[in-house]
């Protein structure tokens, strides 16, 4: 069966009619499933719109054709729906997890996250996945009866467990990664609406997570080539790219470079999606989950790359780390961006009167709570707004070029 063909609904797929519901009960929508409603709420949120003006790798004024957090999110969503359809899963839940997965990202991409993590080092640190939960449960204020978007348990589970279980099944609150701490926002929300932090999320959420990897690998190669950080000749170091380039060259003599790049990216996405579908089917056949509860109770994820594709994925990421993320040009801009957010945090913390009036209202007295509120404000900024605020408060603001 071709990857793009729809399967019959799998018995281990999430069932919207059997959702564990929302923290705040609401009457059903007459024309939408609960997961479709989650998608729509995310799309209409302020945080989602802001993604259009948040850095993926390149800041906004470096070019109109580089990815932003929004275009990345849309590409992740497309990949997630394709995989979910092929596996007979609930496409709306996979889409909801994909659409919302980056709502907690700061301005300036991972550079902004590093800056806020340092600023909050004494107060639990900063993690964009945890911040996503804060956005959809507390910071979006659109509805008269509650804060947040009041998403379903299943979507929230997918966002919190984007990288898998957070605590060990045996050992109570022992974290899966001893080097990490459980973010306060996750701990506090879990106390209200138990997210079963010990288990794997639904297959739909697992699909959303691996779609993130596929989109990253493909579009960062595309953007890196467009920016001139590396060339097609450099990609021969990456085995999967080298093979695809060889195949394209054999099939299309004298193809123009721009078409060659587009075909390379298209084929990388296609082969990775096909691999995930095949490997997931293999794991499902081996473990025989009969329900979504079996998926959550599994000892390992069911949605994954094959061993060979996992090696290819690591190879792409290693190449991009050296040739793109740590490229001197990118490092300089991101270093300056970290400084912008660190400056803003220090100024707001030292002089809360510089915060906008709506953020000064009910400013907590407790230092940790105040620091977290300031981080919430900064994390919600777009790149441009962060620079405008910096220029308002400081005599000199870097150009980020």
Coil, strand or helix: which one is 142? coil
- Report pLDDT for 132: 97
Greater pLDDT, 401 or 381: 381
Q: Cα–Cα distance between 66 and 3 in angstroms, integer?
A: 28
Q: Give the CA diameter of the chain.
A: 68
Coil, strand or helix: which one is 200? coil
The tens digit of pLDDT for each residue in 148-184 reads 999 999 999 999 999 999 988 765 567 776 446 788 8
Coil, strand or helix: which one is 167? strand
- Phi, psi for residue 7 in degrees, rounded to 5: -90, 160
- Report pLDDT for 9: 92
- In-domain check, residue 11: no
Q: Report residue 219's pLDDT band, with 50, 70 and 90 as the boundaries.
A: very high
- In-domain check, residue 12: no
Strands of 198-269, DSSP E: none
Q: What is the mean pLDDT of residues 216-235?
A: 94
Q: What is the mean pLDDT of residues 67-78?
A: 95
Q: Is the model's pLDDT at 286 over the cut of 50?
A: yes
Coil, strand or helix: which one is 188? helix
- In-domain check, residue 239: yes
The tens digit of pLDDT for each residue in 312-339 reads 999 999 999 999 999 998 899 899 999 9
Residue 354 belongs to domain spanning: 32-401
Q: What is the mean pLDDT of residues 380-384?
A: 95
- Report pLDDT for 180: 64
Report the share of the chain in percent with pLDDT over 70: 94
Name residues whose C-beta falls within 8 Å of residue 149's C-beta, 6 or more positions apart in sequence: 38, 41, 42, 45, 136, 137, 140, 142, 143
**Residues 203 and 302: beta-carbon distance below 8 Å:** yes
Burial readout 28-44 (b: 16 or more C-beta within 10 A, e: otherwise) = eeeeebbbbbbbbbbee
Q: What is the mean pLDDT of residues 246-254?
A: 95
What does the mean pLDDT of the chain come to?
A: 93
Query: Among 43-47, 55-59, 153-157, 207-211, which is the least confidently predicted range?
Result: 55-59
Q: Cα–Cα distance between 60 and 54 in angstroms, integer?
A: 8
- In-domain check, residue 27: no
Q: What is the mean pLDDT of residues 93-110?
A: 96
Which domain CATH number covers 157? 1.10.3210.10
DSSP 76-138: HHHHHHHHHHHHT--HHHHHHHHHHTTTTPPTTHHHHHHHHHHHTGGGT---HHHHHHHIIII
- In-domain check, residue 6: no
Q: Is the model's pLDDT at 241 over the cut of 70?
A: yes
- Report pLDDT for 1: 41
Q: Dihedral sign, CA of 219, 222, 228, 234?
A: positive
Strands of 126-168, DSSP E: none
- Report pLDDT for 65: 63
- In-domain check, residue 23: no
Q: Is the model's pLDDT at 214 over the cut of 70?
A: yes
- Report pLDDT for 2: 46
- In-domain check, residue 8: no
246-to-214, 232, 267, 366 alpha-carbon distances in Å: 21, 11, 12, 61
DSSP code at position 20: -
Overall number of domains in the chain = 1
Burial of residue 100 (CB within 10 Å: 0-12, 13-18, 19+) is buried
Q: Report residue 67's pLDDT band, with 50, 70 and 90 as the boundaries.
A: confident
């Amino acid at each position: 069966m071709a990857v793009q063909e729809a399967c019959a609904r799998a018995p281990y797929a999430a069932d919207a009619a059997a959702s564990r519901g929302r923290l705040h009960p609401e009457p059903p929508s007459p024309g939408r499933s609960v997961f479709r409603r989650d998608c729509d709420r995310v799309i209409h949120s302020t945080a989602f719109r802001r993604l259009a003006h948040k850095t993926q790798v390149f800041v906004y004024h470096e070019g109109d054709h580089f990815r932003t957090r929004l275009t990345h999110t849309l590409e992740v969503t497309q990949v997630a729906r394709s995989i979910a359809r092929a596996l007979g899963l609930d496409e709306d839940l996979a889409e909801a997890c994909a659409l919302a997965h980056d709502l907690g990202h700061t301005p300036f991409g991972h550079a902004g996250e590093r800056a806020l993590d340092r600023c909050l080092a004494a107060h639990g640190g900063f993690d964009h996945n945890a911040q996503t939960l804060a956005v959809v449960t507390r910071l979006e204020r659109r509805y008269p009866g509650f804060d947040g978007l009041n998403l379903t348990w299943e979507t929230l589970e997918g966002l919190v467990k984007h990288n898998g279980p957070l605590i060990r099944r045996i050992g109570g609150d022992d974290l899966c990664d001893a080097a990490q701490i459980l973010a306060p926002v996750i701990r506090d929300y879990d106390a209200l609406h138990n997210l079963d932090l010990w288990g794997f999320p639904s297959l739909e959420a697992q699909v959303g997570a691996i779609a993130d990897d596929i989109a990253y690998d493909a579009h960062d190669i595309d953007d890196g080539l467009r920016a001139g950080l590396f060339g097609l000749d450099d990609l021969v170091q990456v085995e999967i790219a080298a093979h695809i380039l060889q195949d394209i060259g054999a099939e299309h003599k004298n193809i123009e470079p721009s078409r060659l790049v587009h075909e390379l990216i298209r084929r990388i996405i296609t082969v990775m999606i096909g691999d995930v579908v095949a490997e997931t089917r293999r794991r499902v056949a081996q473990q025989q989950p009969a329900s979504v509860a079996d998926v959550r109770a599994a000892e390992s994820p069911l949605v994954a790359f094959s061993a060979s594709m996992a090696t290819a994925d690591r190879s792409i990421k290693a190449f991009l780390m050296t040739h793109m993320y740590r490229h001197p040009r990118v490092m300089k801009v991101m270093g300056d961006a970290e400084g912008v957010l660190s400056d803003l945090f220090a100024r707001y913390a030292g002089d809360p009167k510089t915060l906008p009036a709506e953020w000064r209202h009910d400013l907590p007295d407790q230092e940790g709570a105040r620091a977290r509120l300031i981080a919430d404000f900064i994390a919600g900024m777009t790149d441009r707004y962060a620079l405008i605020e910096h220029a308002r408060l400081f005599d000199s603001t870097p150009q980020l070029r």
